Amino acid sequence: MVRGRPAPVRALVGRAFTGVDGQTSVLLGFSCGAQAVLTFNFFGDGPTRAVIVGTEARIEVDAPFYALAPFTLTNNGGTSVRYEPADRRNGLRYEADEV
Protein backbone atom coordinates (compact mmCIF):
# COMPACT_ATOMS: atom_id res chain seq x y z
CA MET A 1 0.00 0.00 0.00
CA VAL A 2 2.89 2.37 0.69
CA ARG A 3 5.21 1.75 -2.28
CA GLY A 4 2.96 0.11 -4.88
CA ARG A 5 3.25 -3.36 -6.39
CA PRO A 6 6.34 -5.26 -5.19
CA ALA A 7 8.76 -7.25 -7.33
CA PRO A 8 10.52 -9.47 -6.46
CA VAL A 9 8.60 -11.28 -3.72
CA ARG A 10 10.21 -14.02 -1.64
CA ALA A 11 8.54 -16.04 1.11
CA LEU A 12 9.43 -18.76 3.57
CA VAL A 13 6.54 -20.72 5.06
CA GLY A 14 6.51 -22.96 8.12
CA ARG A 15 3.56 -25.32 8.30
CA ALA A 16 1.55 -26.09 11.40
CA PHE A 17 0.83 -29.71 12.31
CA THR A 18 -2.47 -29.41 10.41
CA GLY A 19 -0.69 -28.44 7.18
CA VAL A 20 -1.85 -24.81 7.11
CA ASP A 21 0.57 -21.89 7.21
CA GLY A 22 1.78 -21.57 10.80
CA GLN A 23 4.28 -18.81 10.17
CA THR A 24 5.46 -16.91 7.13
CA SER A 25 8.26 -14.44 6.48
CA VAL A 26 8.05 -12.30 3.36
CA LEU A 27 10.66 -10.10 1.67
CA LEU A 28 9.41 -7.52 -0.82
CA GLY A 29 11.47 -5.48 -3.27
CA PHE A 30 10.31 -2.36 -5.10
CA SER A 31 11.52 -0.70 -8.31
CA CYS A 32 12.43 2.47 -6.36
CA GLY A 33 14.90 0.47 -4.25
CA ALA A 34 12.71 0.23 -1.14
CA GLN A 35 12.35 -3.07 0.69
CA ALA A 36 9.80 -4.48 3.12
CA VAL A 37 9.86 -7.33 5.61
CA LEU A 38 6.63 -8.89 6.88
CA THR A 39 6.12 -11.71 9.34
CA PHE A 40 2.98 -13.63 10.19
CA ASN A 41 2.83 -16.10 13.07
CA PHE A 42 0.06 -18.25 14.51
CA PHE A 43 2.35 -19.99 17.00
CA GLY A 44 2.63 -17.06 19.41
CA ASP A 45 1.27 -13.63 20.23
CA GLY A 46 3.32 -11.03 18.33
CA PRO A 47 3.27 -7.26 18.63
CA THR A 48 0.92 -6.63 15.64
CA ARG A 49 2.67 -3.32 14.92
CA ALA A 50 3.86 -1.66 11.74
CA VAL A 51 6.89 0.56 11.19
CA ILE A 52 7.57 2.53 8.02
CA VAL A 53 11.12 3.91 7.81
CA GLY A 54 11.96 6.60 5.28
CA THR A 55 14.95 8.80 4.51
CA GLU A 56 13.66 11.71 6.63
CA ALA A 57 11.43 10.11 9.26
CA ARG A 58 9.71 6.97 10.48
CA ILE A 59 6.11 6.15 11.34
CA GLU A 60 5.38 3.65 14.10
CA VAL A 61 1.80 2.38 14.12
CA ASP A 62 0.55 0.89 17.38
CA ALA A 63 -1.22 -2.44 17.60
CA PRO A 64 -3.34 -3.45 15.93
CA PHE A 65 -1.91 -1.72 12.85
CA TYR A 66 -4.69 -3.06 10.59
CA ALA A 67 -7.35 -1.08 12.47
CA LEU A 68 -7.55 2.63 13.19
CA ALA A 69 -4.66 2.94 15.66
CA PRO A 70 -2.51 5.71 17.15
CA PHE A 71 0.85 6.32 15.49
CA THR A 72 4.01 8.30 16.11
CA LEU A 73 5.92 10.27 13.48
CA THR A 74 9.61 10.72 14.40
CA ASN A 75 11.97 12.75 12.24
CA ASN A 76 15.70 12.04 11.92
CA GLY A 77 16.41 14.76 14.48
CA GLY A 78 14.50 12.75 17.09
CA THR A 79 11.45 15.02 17.30
CA SER A 80 8.27 12.98 17.68
CA VAL A 81 4.62 13.83 17.16
CA ARG A 82 1.93 11.47 18.42
CA TYR A 83 -1.34 11.15 16.53
CA GLU A 84 -4.42 9.74 18.26
CA PRO A 85 -7.51 8.93 16.18
CA ALA A 86 -10.62 10.77 17.37
CA ASP A 87 -12.86 7.75 16.80
CA ARG A 88 -10.97 4.60 17.73
CA ARG A 89 -13.03 1.47 17.37
CA ASN A 90 -11.70 -2.07 17.30
CA GLY A 91 -11.75 -4.30 14.27
CA LEU A 92 -11.93 -3.66 10.56
CA ARG A 93 -14.91 -1.31 10.74
CA TYR A 94 -14.11 0.68 7.60
CA GLU A 95 -13.52 -2.46 5.55
CA ALA A 96 -16.81 -3.93 6.76
CA ASP A 97 -18.62 -0.70 5.94
CA GLU A 98 -17.16 -0.79 2.42
CA VAL A 99 -18.34 -4.36 1.84
Q: CA-to-CA distance for 95 and 56, rounded, in angstroms? A: 31
**Tens digits of per-residue pLDDT, 17-42?**
998 889 999 999 999 999 999 998 88
- In this structure, of 4-8, 75-79, 95-99, the range with the lowest mean pLDDT score is 95-99
- pTM score: 0.73
Gap between the Cα atoms of 88 and 49, Å rounded? 16
Query: At a CB cut-off of 8 Å and minimum separation 6, what does 88 contact?
Result: 68, 69, 70
DSSP single-letter state for residue 98? H
The radius of gyration of the chain from alpha carbons, rounded to an integer in Å, stands at 16
Strands of the sheet with 50-53, listed across from one edge: 50-53, 57-61, 71-75, 80-83
